[in-house]
Amino acid sequence: MSIALRIRNAKPLLRTLHRHIGGSRRTFSSGDGGGSGTKLLETFTEEFEVGNRLITFQNGKYGRFSNGAVVLTMEDNKILSAVNTSRDEIARNDFLPLTVDYEEKQFSHGLIPSTYMRREGAPKERELLCARIIDRPIRPLFPPGFYHEVQVTASVLSSDGTQDPIVYAANATSAALMLSDIPWGGPIGMIRIGRICGQFVVNPTMDELSLSDLNLIYACTKDKTLMIDVQAREISEEDLQAGLRFAHPEAVKYIEPQIRLAAKAGKSKKEYKLSMLSDKTLEKVSNLAEAPIKAVFTDPSYGKFERGKALDNITQDVKKVLEEEGDEESIKVLSKTIDTVRKKVVRKRIIAEGSRVDGRQLDEVRPLYCEAGCISKLRGSADFFRGETQVLCTVTLGAPKDAQHLDSLVGPSSKRFMLHYSFPPYCIGEVGKRGGLNRREVGHGALAEKALLAVLPPEVVFPYTVRVNSEVMASDGSTSMASVCGASMALMNAGIPIREHVAGISVGLVSELDPCTGEIVDYRILTDILGLEDHLGDIDFKIAGTRKGVTAAQLDMKPAGIPLDIICECLEPAHKAHLHIIDHMEREIKEPCTKQGSSSQQIVTLKYSNDALRRLIGPMGVLLKKLEMETGARLSVGDGTLTIVTKNQSLMDKTLEKVVSIVGREIEVGGIYKGVVTSIKEYGAFVEFNGGKQGLLHISELSHEPVSKISDIVSIGQQLSLMCIGQDVHGNIKLSLKAALRGPGGSETNYIAEVSATSAKVTTNSWAPVWDASSITQEQNSASKLPIEKNEVGETKPSASQTPVIVIRSAAECDEEEKSISLDHNQTSNSPLIDDGVKLDSSKSKSPSKSKPRKSQDAVDSPSQSGSLPKKPKLSMQKKLKSDTQRAEGNEKKDKDNEPLTAKDLPLGTKFKAKVFQIRAHGLVLDLGGGVRGMYRFEGDGKTDLKVGDEMPVVLSSFSSKGIPVVFPVDDK
């Protein structure tokens, strides 16, 4: 039978697939009808449980040509990890060129990429961070001297969106390395731990993480720790230790299945030539270089570059000696040999004498210097020096639409806080080329970003986008932790209401091993390590936190594991260092700034109706884009909000003026508005103001002096600054020119919107991290019950419920109504008129009553207690009608009494004995009786001693824009 016919007649592979049993081995073949078959696939699986979830390792189905390939399956999540090494017999490097790539393609959750090419582009930031998490625990387990190129490719084949695939990708990578012929000292296990209501959760889902105050990723061998990555909300050091000890046995559960799978399907490890230093070369170079190197390291007066130059001179001296002897073999490995001698000298002094390179004590932090607001033009800035390490942090605010859009399989779709870390070549005195995303820079920036998330304000308090830039100016150890300190001060300088400072420190370890067993027999913990101590030491444990607890941590190490007890011991000196650093930071800036200079960046949020915002946006957003081009501002429109961001105060004033001219602003009694006279009547002038609205400027409000002719004071087209003083009986806004002239010195008071920095009165609740949505949702729910208006960054004021926007009738409508009222009055003179011409039904009145004289145009009702404008003109008190009319109305009233009581039936000024129904963040919900509920907004500090069910005497003062009664407390007496 031909090959083509055999393929055509082959049974489909999917028809032969069966559920694999743990530890099973399956062979898939194609039949030719004669009972014989050709083997196509041979697969091996191992099944086990972790955290009550079934997990499967499978080998042989995908990536068969790789040195090792494993698919890890957990429910609907499948992750493939394939490892490969170069086929060269001799390594071409003097280091381990390990490359880890992690890929999340859109097909894995059923989507087509939204890019122009409809393809995935360069690795996203999340993919780089996940690749680093895989890299860090597997790198130390490659044997010393193994310098062959190794590549790991972890790909997500399917994702249900509920689980973060990164932990499973790391375990699949470990299994693939175990099956491969690459020498490696694994396996490892990796686990994620959360904590909800004080209880630890194994491999929590994304929804569970939103409720957790701990997000811990932990990797280990059977008895030693390899990697830690923590994001937390000020968890105490004791609780973090408990989480680490809980995580270790859970992570070990991944190890035994890998060993069983490797026993069945693993390849024999290939023999590679390791690039090891010969004892002869090491001894010769040590004899020549050890004494001068020790002299350099025992002199604390050396700075970083002076010390480096002295060590380079020693290397050149040794090289000359080796050249004279003709020892070419030693010359080839001289750089690595000198580095080994340096490591031996430094570690021996620290272990034996407790003495460090720069002369500090083991737990001593280098000298600190802090400066906030070092660049006044910027919204926020800060310098942070620790020894010779210097970081400049700057803060830029943006509108909500400036948030970064994320395109990942799990987690939120956007983030509004970003910290970008930059490590330019000049910070270490070198020449280099700046490229695209650097994995190290992305990782350091993400760590500092996680450290600050716990103290940032929630979105309901501070809805803006925040970008922090950390520029490393000089580097000599732990610039990522310096970025945490600098960014914390810069955020306060920018006026962002963070609750308290966050400080970061890096802790190192130098250990002495037993040459026979390889176990640690002695060690020293170093606080605030230098770059040299990081290079020559065992670990770099970065820990950030506040006075209360840890907010982020990251552990990297060079040896093949450290006992967990030693790792936990590092937390105490880190906490002491945090307190020391925070003390210095608070001396420079202790709380968020409340005012910004006029030349710095300005931001404001205004509240408008959605109809007004639609007018501002225009068709297809044309008007909004035009406004941005004319002013240079950034405008972001939300649901009922408009956020404006400008470079300085003058641009903000210009932008606000244009916005007000289009949509206006909320009309308030006592507010000053610019308007243009559109028509003049004998009793006053109509003025167009506040984005097309109309108001009445009565003749009595033109001047403090008597006015005989309106045209003597104003003319059509004239621009005026006017004060809103109320509303007349016809629904027109009453404006006053003379009231607007009561400013200092009798000059006009022009409206200038106040755009300030964040207010010091802001409630500084914590901003939940990106994996914590619960607290944000709670804040939004509580805020939605009692709406607030934000006119300034983070500052609240009473909502439109107390000063509703008034629908203004034009002058033409008023003239038309006057004519119709006059006509109706003449035709039905025998019918009684009430106030502004509303007729009573003559059939209900047996004898006519005299009509009440009509009020003049300047008659106005007194405003309510809240100072708001009533939605409709009030009706004055009626004259007493004759008895039959009263009886008719009495019958109607009885019918109405049988109907349910509604809010609109309540007249202003009515007093109640109200019961407290609910207590909310900004006020009380009160039961007024008859199923009607009203609201009372807190004043001052917003505290109350009342409890649910308590009674309080109140008076109805106004209605909100939604018709909810607004009440105020009154004295019982």
Provide the 10 A C-beta neighbour count for residue 780: 12
**C-alpha distances out from residue 610 to 222, 637, 640, 641, 962, Å:** 60, 10, 5, 8, 15
* φ/ψ bin of 561: left (φ > 0), alpha (ψ from -120 to 50), beta (otherwise): left
Name the 3-class secondary structure at 493: helix
- Measured between alpha carbons, how far is 711 from 706 in angstroms, rounded to an integer? 13
Exposure of 225 by Cβ count < 10 A (0-12 exposed, 13-18 middle, 19+ buried)? buried
| pLDDT band of 901, cuts 50, 70, 90 | low
Dihedral angle sign, alpha carbons of residues 705, 708, 710, 714 = negative
Domain residue spans in the chain? 44-265, 279-353, 368-588, 602-740, 910-969
- The vertex-395 CA angle with 390 and 401, nearest 5°, equals 145
Residue 930 is predicted with a pLDDT of: 72
The residues near 325 (Cβ < 8 Å, ≥ 6 apart) are: none
Strands 417-422, 465-474: pairing kind: parallel
Residue 645 is predicted with a pLDDT of: 92
H or E element in which residue 543 lies: strand 539-545
Which residue type sits at 263?
A
Residue 292 is predicted with a pLDDT of: 93
Residue 165 is predicted with a pLDDT of: 95
The average pLDDT across 878-890 equals 41
Residue 343 is predicted with a pLDDT of: 92
Which tens digit of pLDDT belongs to each residue from 330-339?
898 899 999 9
Helix pair 610-617, 622-631: axis angle to 10 deg: 70
538, 601 Cβ separation under 8 angstroms: no
What are the structure tokens assigned to 943, written together?
């505290």
φ, ψ (nearest 5 deg) of residue 362: -60, -35
Residue 438 is predicted with a pLDDT of: 86
φ, ψ (nearest 5 deg) of residue 613: -65, -35
Dihedral angle sign, alpha carbons of residues 283, 288, 289, 292 = positive
Of 3-17, 384-398, 570-584, 650-664, least confident by mean pLDDT is 3-17
Beta bridge partners of 721: 674
φ, ψ (nearest 5 deg) of residue 724: -80, 125
The residues near 689 (Cβ < 8 Å, ≥ 6 apart) are: 664, 673, 674, 675, 676, 695, 722, 735
- Measured between alpha carbons, how far is 700 from 708 in angstroms, rounded to an integer? 10
Provide the 10 A C-beta neighbour count for residue 83: 29
Residue 664 is predicted with a pLDDT of: 72
What is the four-CA torsion angle of 422, 428, 433, 436, rounded to 10 degrees? -20
Name the 3-class secondary structure at 575: helix
Whether 805 shows a pLDDT value over 60: the answer reads no
Whether 874 shows a pLDDT value over 60: the answer reads no
Exposure of 560 by Cβ count < 10 A (0-12 exposed, 13-18 middle, 19+ buried)? middle
The average pLDDT across 416-428 equals 94
Residue 940 is predicted with a pLDDT of: 61
- Measured between alpha carbons, how far is 21 from 593 in angstroms, rounded to an integer? 63
- Measured between alpha carbons, how far is 353 from 362 in angstroms, rounded to an integer? 10
R_g (Cα) of the chain, nearest Å: 38
Of 1-5, 18-22, 217-221, 799-803, least confident by mean pLDDT is 799-803
| pLDDT band of 967, cuts 50, 70, 90 | confident
Continuous H helices in 809-854: 811-827
Helix pair 125-138, 166-179: axis angle to 10 deg: 40
Whether 885 shows a pLDDT value over 70: the answer reads no
- Measured between alpha carbons, how far is 386 from 919 in angstroms, rounded to an integer? 48
Which tens digit of pLDDT belongs to each residue from 162-205?
999 999 999 999 999 999 999 999 899 999 999 999 999 999 99
335, 499 Cβ separation under 8 angstroms: no
Helix, strand, coil in percent for the chain, rounding step 5: 30, 25, 40
Residue 640 is predicted with a pLDDT of: 85
| pLDDT band of 924, cuts 50, 70, 90 | confident
| pLDDT band of 469, cuts 50, 70, 90 | very high
Closest CA to 921 of 777, 773, 779: 779
Residue 20 is predicted with a pLDDT of: 38
Residue 868 is predicted with a pLDDT of: 39
More confident call, 145 vs 967: 145
More confident call, 967 vs 270: 270
φ, ψ (nearest 5 deg) of residue 316: -65, -35
- Measured between alpha carbons, how far is 619 from 641 in angstroms, rounded to an integer? 18
**C-alpha distances out from residue 351 to 219, 508, 565, 576, 577, Å:** 28, 13, 19, 22, 21
CATH topology of domain 44-265: Ribosomal Protein S5; domain 2 (3.30.230)
Whether 448 shows a pLDDT value over 50: the answer reads yes
- Measured between alpha carbons, how far is 158 from 72 in angstroms, rounded to an integer? 11
More confident call, 100 vs 618: 100
Q: pTM (2 decimals)?
A: 0.72
Which tens digit of pLDDT belongs to each residue from 611-645?
888 888 988 889 899 999 988 899 999 888 899 99
Could you tell me the CATH superfamily of domain 910-969? Nucleic acid-binding proteins (2.40.50.140)
Residue 38 is predicted with a pLDDT of: 55
φ, ψ (nearest 5 deg) of residue 158: -155, 150
Strands 77-85, 150-158: pairing kind: antiparallel
What are the structure tokens assigned to 209, written together?
């993480």
**Can the peptide bond before residue 187 be classed as cis, meaning omega within 30 degrees of 0?**
yes
The residues near 622 (Cβ < 8 Å, ≥ 6 apart) are: none
Which tens digit of pLDDT belongs to each residue from 55-96?
999 999 999 999 999 999 999 999 999 999 998 878 888 889
Closest CA to 966 of 915, 918, 886, 908: 908
- Measured between alpha carbons, how far is 379 from 200 in angstroms, rounded to an integer? 41
Residue 911 is predicted with a pLDDT of: 79
Site of tokens 């189905």? 61
pLDDT above 70: percentage of residues in the chain: 78
Beta bridge partners of 472: 391
- Average pLDDT of the chain? 80
pLDDT above 90: percentage of residues in the chain: 46
Whether 392 shows a pLDDT value over 70: the answer reads yes
Site of tokens 């409630």? 763
Residue 682 is predicted with a pLDDT of: 84
The Cβ-side half-sphere exposure at 835, using a 13 Å CA radius, reads 14
CATH topology of domain 368-588: Ribosomal Protein S5; domain 2 (3.30.230)
Beta bridge partners of 696: 686, 734
| pLDDT band of 781, cuts 50, 70, 90 | very low
CATH of the domain spanning 602-740, picked from 3.30.360.10, 2.40.50.140, 3.30.70.20, 3.40.710.10: 2.40.50.140
The average pLDDT across 795-807 equals 33
Fold agreement between 602-740 and 910-969? yes
Site of tokens 């960046």? 601
CATH number of the domain located at residue range(s) 279-353 in this protein: 1.10.10
| Strand locations in 737-802 (E) | 789-792, 795-797
Dihedral angle sign, alpha carbons of residues 538, 544, 547, 550 = negative
